[in-house]
Amino acid sequence: MNDLNIYLHSLTPIYPRKVYDQSLLVDWVANAHEESALLQGQLCDKRRLKKFSLNKSYISQRYMECPDTSDDWKNNEIYRITPEAPYGVDIKKRNDFFSECALKRLAQSYENKKNPDHFIHVTCTGYIAPSAPQVYFANTPNAPEITHAYHMGCYASLPSIRLAKSLAAEGKMVDIFHNEICSIHMNPSNHSPEHIVVETLFADGHIGYQISREQKGFKILGVKEKIIPDTSSNMGWIPSSHGMMMTLTRDVPLKIQENILSFVMEMISDFNLDLAHIIKKGVFAIHPGGPRIIEVVKNKLEIRDDQIKESKKVLFERGNMSSATLPHIWHEIEQSDYPKGTYVLSLAFGPGLTVFGSVFEVS
């Protein structure tokens, strides 16, 4: 490991404009699918759709930027469901909406904050050039260098930290900022069980944090990744005419279960740490790709419920916010005031099927 210590600190969540009860959102998703099916002359069993939805025992509420939660389909902004467009508006209008929201959240974050030397923008839910940070910082003095870390899915915080760590080693103050607006990528014309899971799991989230030599927060000990062989069809995230389209098969938890222990053992060995000590006394930030994934990792690593409580809390209170989720979990861990020296082992999963891991130390 590098002898120069680099730290992650100043985690600052910014919440989307509205929060909704999960039961309301599940009903609204089912109604949107029913409306889309009717316009296409199809039958849609709402009871079947709700069977595959994530209910309130897993997620109590979700934050959303998308303004559409009514059944006034012809007048909705994103989910304007019509015979000509049974899925809602096209991908350009969804990206325009993303750009507007991202710009507002950036302005909110930097209202009373100094610009960094380098800014890394992370998202997989909206692509516009010039990007929101390019537009925002162009109108500010001392604009930072900007790097876009796009389209990496739920694990994107960790490769972003790997990049930021190298920049911080050069003496730069690096800000990382996540804008994830998953709510604009629903497709009410796709009634598959996997799609219903996605539409009742994902939420919106924004968060910023800093990487520097300043000794506070979490000392970054290392970041590691691995692509699991023969899994490229298990998870995907590709642009379509109306938004981003996710592939998420039922095999994902099984593939993670089969590979997670060997990955963690290899990572801990690479970082010259004591796995037994971390398993016994560490804290685990597990990206909640779904409730089952948290349980699979917990059981395979033989860790306790109290070691994953922040991961479950974030899923229950905010849903899956894609790449913004792990940073929200780190913020919860930071607020829990763990003793100095406590190890924080993070795991996230995304297209590939890729596993990303890291180890921090509370400083």
State which residues form the domain around 257: 218-362
Statement: residue 10 has pLDDT above 70:
yes
**Amino acid found at 43:** L
Statement: residue 1 has pLDDT above 50:
no
- Tokens 């905010």 sit on residue: 318
DSSP designation for 242 = S
- SS3 label, residue 37: helix
Query: Domains in the chain: how many in total?
Result: 1
Residue 70: CB atoms within 10 Å: 11
Angle in degrees, 0-180, between the axes of helices 309-318 and 291-301, rounded to the nearest 10: 180
Does some domain include residue 230?
yes
**Amino acid found at 242:** H
Which residues in 11-41 are b (16+ Cβ under 10 Å) and which e?
bebbebeeebebeebbbbbbbbbbbbbebee
* pLDDT single digits (tens) 276-287: 999 999 999 999
Does some domain include residue 181?
no
Quick one: average pLDDT of 27-35? 95
Element (H, E) at 246: strand 244-248
Q: Place 2 in a pLDDT band, splitting at 50, 70 and 90.
A: very low
* pLDDT single digits (tens) 114-170: 999 999 999 999 999 999 999 999 989 999 999 999 999 999 999 999 999 999 999
Instruction: Find the CATH number of the domain harbouring 246.
Output: 3.40.47.10
Statement: residue 289 has pLDDT above 90:
no
pLDDT higher at 327 or 4: 327
Closest among 349, 305, 308 to 329, alpha carbons compared:
308
Does some domain include residue 281?
yes
Quick one: average pLDDT of 349-360? 94
Whole-model pTM above 0.85? Answer: yes
Does some domain include residue 311?
yes
- CA 284 distance to own-chain centroid: 16
Does some domain include residue 63?
no
Does some domain include residue 241?
yes
* pLDDT single digits (tens) 89-107: 999 999 999 999 999 999 9
Residue 306: CB atoms within 10 Å: 8
Phi, psi of 334 (to 5 degrees): -60, -40
Does some domain include residue 168?
no
Does some domain include residue 44?
no
CA distance 232 to 243: 21
Statement: residue 179 has pLDDT above 80:
yes
